[in-house]
Every structure is written in C-alpha cells, then in structure tokens.
Structure 1
Amino acid sequence: MWSNLPFDVLANIFSFLSPDSLARARSTCKYWHLCSKTCYSFNLNNQQPWFLALPIRNHKPCFYAHNPDLNNWYELSLEFLPVPVRAVSPIGSLLLLKISHSTTLQLAICNPFSRQFRYLPQLNISRTNPAVGVVVLNQGVQFPSFRIYVAGGMSEAAQGGATYEPTTEMYDSEVDEWQIVGSMPVEFAVRLTVWTPNESVRIGNVLYWITSARVYSVIGCDVSTNTWKEISVPMAERLGFATLVGRDGVLGLVGGISGGNSCVWEMEEGDIWGLKNKVPSELGWKLLGGNSNSNNKRNWESTKCVGNDEAICLYRDLGSGMVVWRKVRDEEGSEWEWNWVEGCGCIKGKKVHNCSIRGILIHPTLASSIF
C-alpha cells in the first residue's frame, strides 16, 4: 500500500514526521527520498521542541540534540560551518549565530539539520558585545520573516578611543539590510554591553533583556516607539541565576533563590511579578547533584535555563540531566508538568565527553530554505 500512495499524499504524511524519522524514511527508496525532499514543513502543533546542546569551548565541531518525543540524544556535526560560532537565538527552525573569532559583532544564520549557512550583512556601526534581540513577524512557520535588533556595544569614537554606542540598529530579513532606528540612554547602553547576555525575550512590541549589574534587573525596549524602561526583579539580591522566558505572550522569569527553591514568576499588570510555580524539591536536588536529606544549602549559580511557549529547561552541563517544565496536550486541552530528562552520557553505546553547553529550544527541520 505504501509504495502505491500518490506523491502529494505521501508528502503530507511525511510533513508530520520529526527530522530523525524523516531521515530514516529518506533512506527507504528513491521514491521516498524524492518525496521527502519536497516536504517543507511538519505540524508544529504536534511536535515538541528539541533541546540543542551546543558546547561552549574546547570541543570538536558538533552539537547534541534531544528529541523529547522519543527521549533520544543525537550527535550532529557542525563541520559544515566555515568559522567558529556561538548560538544567539532560534528563529523559527533556524539558528541565529555570532561569529566567535570576530572582535566586533558579525551575525549569521544556519539550519544545523540541513547544513545550510549564510552570513548576514555587516552592521552600519561596528560594535563589540552589544545586546541582540529577535522579533519574528510570522510565528508558527519554519522559516519566518524576522527582524534583529542590536543595542549598545562598544564602538570606536572619531578621536580614536572606544566608547559606548547609545544607538539601536535593526536588520529586516525582507530587505536584507541594517538601518539605525533610534537612540537609547547611555546608562542602558553600558549595562547591556557589560552585564547582559546576548539573548532576549520578545513580548508584543517589547524586547526584554536581563542584566546582572550589582543585582538582577530587566531592561525593556518598545521597538515600535523606541521607548526604554527598567523593571525590578523579584528577590534580585538573593538569586543565584535568573533567566527571562516567554510563556503564551507573557513575560516570565526563572530564578534560583540561594539556599532555597528555583521559581517561575510571570509579569502581571503594572509590571508586577507574580509567583507562578516552583521546581519540585526532589528535582532541584537531583539537578544540583545533592541530597534532599542533607543540611547543605542549594547553590544555583551554576544553573542555566532556556524556555519558550512550550517548555522551560533548567540544566548545568551536557551530562548532568535537566529539569523540564513542559506543556502536555491531550484531548481536554493542555497543562504543564515537571519532568526529569537524563543527560547525554552516551550515544549508540559510545561515551560522550561531558562539557559546558549553551541550550537552545527549536523545532528542527530537514527542509531546504532560501535565506
């Protein structure tokens, strides 16, 4: 029966397969291989996002991917990349990358599963270590139109010395060029340059970054009006780590209280934070490698976090395992559940060297795209 299915019917079936299943289908026969190459999308509503673990340093050019539906880890090569890179953010099924050997910011995009890569144009102003934010214009598709905002950073002044750059630039994927779109308070430019990781969270028209200067706080920019603001963080002076996440159109914050629990807060009206949930105590101890019966206080400083509308993952390194708060769907709707995911200790019986990682949540695809 399968060998007699019409081409369009088979392609529609293939569109529901995850990348690992689609790769196996491709190897069945020439007809299936040809059909799978025309399959450009899969049903995002029925697929959980994968966790990509990208080694941070001193590692061979590869990354590790966890498929939550099959609970499998895979190792995939990054040897197709022409230069060393660091991941900044997912854009649909693509990755936004920072060229790591460049002193000033140079960005690129790639599909790590179909092994496609492309440099983005140079910025109008050469900047070192600016904050980067992404606005996806058409959510729910693998290769959306998008805008990238770059704020702050160090630049070379006319007198020959370095200075903080109090401007914002925007890249529009539809016209493939950068333009300067506004100014920003110098104080925010300094803090975004020195105390802020590259990743951001977009809620509506506002991009948010978290800064760790003295204690954690949040800096936001309404990109439609170029309006900047600062928001306090709950228990900021006691947090061992803090990460912003977006959950169903609401700004969330995940933070570990030194000596206590790791919590999830959500922004309510008036820029007030409300406690949403806590990491179950036994899972928190498991992540930190401790014992809930011991008198040791929990230290969250080595913890990292990544999240989106479908999952929040707390992790430390490649082999330690993850605490995952994931949206689970059934016939009656959806709810969020806490789970434990074992770390990547071995793949196909071969031991994997443990290393520090940067985590990304993404819906992968093998489809070719036009950058």
Structure 2
Amino acid sequence: MWNHLPFDLLANIFSFLAPDSLARASSACRHWHTCVTAYPLAVAPSESQRHPAWFVAMPTRNRGLCCYAHNPIGDSWHVLPLDFLPAPVRPIAPIGSLLLSRPTSGTSLQLAICNIFTRQYRNLPMLNITRTNPAVGTVVLDQAQLGPFPFFRVYVAGGMSEVPRGGASYEPTVEMYDSRRDKWELIGSMPMEFAVRLTVWTPNESVYSNGILYWMTSARAYSVMGFDIGTNTWRELNVPMADRLEFATLVRHNGKLTLVGGTCGGGACVWELDVEDNWGMVEKVPLELGMRFLGGKESWGSTKCVGGDGVVCLYRDLGSGMVFWREVVDKKGRWEWYWVEGCCFIRGKQVQNLPIKGVLLHPNLAPSLFLNN
C-alpha cells in the first residue's frame, strides 16, 4: 500500500519527518525517493518551519573540504562533504534551506547560492560595479516560502571599486539583486562616510527587521548602521555599553532587531530595539552556562554569535561547547537556555578542532529549480 500512495498524500506525511529521518525514508524504495526529491514537501509556513534550524559549522581554514552540521532533534553531529563546490566558499547568510556564499578564490565580490544537503550550487550574475569587501544583506520576500524555491533580494553597499586613472576608491552606491528577475540594479547612493565604515569596519552579517537592513560595525565603540529598503535612506543607532562590549552581534528575536554582547569580567546580555529606537535588556546568559562556556576565563573576546527567529547560539570553535537560547516547541513565547557539546567525535572518529563560521539552516532535501537555472 505504501508504495502506491499518491505523491501529494505521501509528501504531506513526509513533511512531518526530521531531515535525517526523511533521508532514510528516501532510500527505502524508488517511489519514496522520487517523492522526496521531486515533490514539494513544504507547502505552508507551519510545515516549512516545523523543525528547528540546524547549526552548520563552516571551517574558516582548509575551506572546501567539508562542513559540520548539528541536528538539534537528535543532538547529533554530521559531516557534509563540500566537494561539489567549484571553489572554497565563505558563508554570508542563510536563505531558508539555501546558503548565500562567496568564493574565496578572488578579491572582487562574486555571490553564489548553494544547498549543502542536496549538493546544488549556482553563481549569481555579476554585479554592475566590481566591488571589494562591501556590506551584504538579504531579505526574503515571502517569509512563508522558505522551502526549495524562495524569493529573495540581496543588497550590496559600499566596498572598494577601481577608478579610471588607476587605483581604487570607496563606492558610495547600493545595488540590489532580485531572485525573481535574476538581475542586479543600482538603486541609490549613500553618504561617503557610511561607505567607508561599511567597507572597513562592518562584517557581512546583516539583520532585516521592519523594512530596514542593519549591520553592526566591528570596531569599538560599536554602533549599528541601517538601510531603509523602502526609502533608500540610511541611519545610525547607538549600542548599549558600546565601549565596554568585547563582542557584539545583531540577530532577530521575535521579529525584532536584537543585540547580543558580553563584557570583560561580566556576563553576556540580550537587548531588543523598541519602536522608539531604545534598547531594552530582555535576557542574560545564565551564570553557570556562561562560566562553562568561558572555561574559567573572564573574556568574551573570542565569542561568536548567530541567531534567527526561534534560536540564538553562542559559539567559538568546532570542538568547544555552545550555549543555545531556543524557543520551546509547542510552547510559543517560552525560551530556554541549554548547553550543546562541540563536535569532537562523529561515529566514534575524532574530529580535528577548527575555527568556524556558524550559520543556521532549515535542511530541505528537495532539489531547487532555482539552482538548476
């Protein structure tokens, strides 16, 4: 009977499975494999977000060999080969189950999209202006569509560009890529001061909230720079304890712009931005988890953070333990802190400790037509 169920009914059943369970189901028979790989399994927001995001650790050295993924349901680590990529990449931002990245083989920005679970990869078109080290931000146009065919935009601001007489200068313009049209267009200018600071002091990580893309400057004292995508205007926000924070990262929490940071000799805290652009502290990392994370040290300087709606993660390197703050399943509005061991062994085999860049992805095993274009 199971071998003859219609694809739509079978896909609805499969949508309840965690990604690793779905992978095992796809190997049961040809009928199930065809359903998993050729039929859309996520057709509603509740289904596309049914399972929590996986933490994916991308090594920052020896890039191109593999990455490591933590399954929060089974509390298990998996190794994923990256030999399908044409070149080593640096992750920039997740787009549902897809990863926006840039090859590390050149200095000028070239963006690409890949699905590390289905081993698909596609370069985006070249920008209108050749840029080095610009700020990059992403916006998903339809939050309900985080399955294999998302509609999204990518914004690129600042960077260095070549000048006609030789040399390079800061580029005070903004370009936007729309996945529905598959092309870039220049959409506006920006103050030269902002172009300089985005190029020199701002990492690529961005957060989108209430129509504005935000970036955190990487130099103390920290500050936040925002770009309103509706009006093409720029703004700057102060950061609480800006001159004392040893690390500061922007994430989304309950749809709001949220700041996570820690001070030397003190704890790590979470602040949210309200409608009047005031920061309010909403949470602290529990003392015992903070001490375990720091390993007896007082400095948060090596801490990294990644987050999204439903989860925030503090991490350092591949082998070190991580602190998660996650929304409790079936108890909307309730969040809990807990510890996750680092990746030291996979299937009994020791894993080399490596510096990493973490991203949060919702695995999807259905091949994306966008990546096949």
Q: TM-score range by the shorter chain?
A: over 0.9
**C-alpha separation in 2, matches of 1:152 and 1:318:** 32
Which residue does 2:98 correspond to in 1? 94
Contact kept? 2:64, 2:89, Cα under 8 Å: no
Q: Quickly say closer, same or farther: Cα 1:7–1:137, change in 2 above 3 A.
A: closer
Contact kept? 1:200, 1:244, Cα under 8 Å: yes
Q: Taking structure 2 as the reference length, what is the TM-score of the superposition? A: 0.95
Which residue does 1:16 correspond to in 2? 16
Q: Which amino acid aligns with 1:18?
A: A
Does 2:323 match 1:353? no
**C-alpha separation in 2, matches of 1:161 and 1:154:** 10
Task: Provide the alpha-carbon RMSD of the alignment.
Answer: 1.4
**C-alpha separation in 1, matches of 2:140 and 2:303:** 28
Task: Give the share of equivalent positions with the same residue, in percent.
Answer: 62
CA deviation after TM superposition for structure 1 residue 22, in Å:
1.1
Which residue does 2:80 correspond to in 1? 76
Q: Quickly say closer, same or farther: Cα 1:59–1:369, change in 2 above 3 A.
A: closer
CA deviation after TM superposition for structure 1 residue 354, in Å:
0.6
Q: Which amino acid aligns with 1:207?
A: L
CA deviation after TM superposition for structure 1 residue 4, in Å:
5.6
Which residue does 1:166 correspond to in 2? 172
**C-alpha separation in 2, matches of 1:278 and 1:188:** 32
CA deviation after TM superposition for structure 1 residue 9, in Å:
2.1
Does 2:35 match 1:29? no
Which residue does 2:336 correspond to in 1? 337
Does 2:304 match 1:304? yes
**C-alpha separation in 2, matches of 1:3 and 1:119:** 38
Which residue does 2:242 correspond to in 1? 236
CA deviation after TM superposition for structure 1 residue 7, in Å:
3.9
CA deviation after TM superposition for structure 1 residue 36, in Å:
2.1
Q: Which amino acid aligns with 1:25?
A: A
Which residue does 2:119 correspond to in 1? 115
Tell me the matched-pair count.
Answer: 364
CA deviation after TM superposition for structure 1 residue 39, in Å:
3.6
Gaps of 5+ in 1: 291-295
CA deviation after TM superposition for structure 1 residue 5, in Å:
4.0
Contact kept? 2:207, 2:250, Cα under 8 Å: yes
Contact kept? 1:132, 1:198, Cα under 8 Å: yes
CA deviation after TM superposition for structure 1 residue 161, in Å:
1.8
Contact kept? 1:14, 1:39, Cα under 8 Å: no
Which residue does 2:69 correspond to in 1? 65
**C-alpha separation in 2, matches of 1:327 and 1:362:** 16
Q: Which amino acid aligns with 1:303?
A: T
How do 1:174-253 and structure 2 match up within 5 A?
174-253=180-259
Which residue does 1:47 correspond to in 2? 51
Q: Which amino acid aligns with 1:29?
A: C
Which residue does 1:321 correspond to in 2? 321
Deviations 1:324-365 (A, max 9, x none): 0000132x5341000101111100011010101000011111
**C-alpha separation in 2, matches of 1:193 and 1:59:** 23
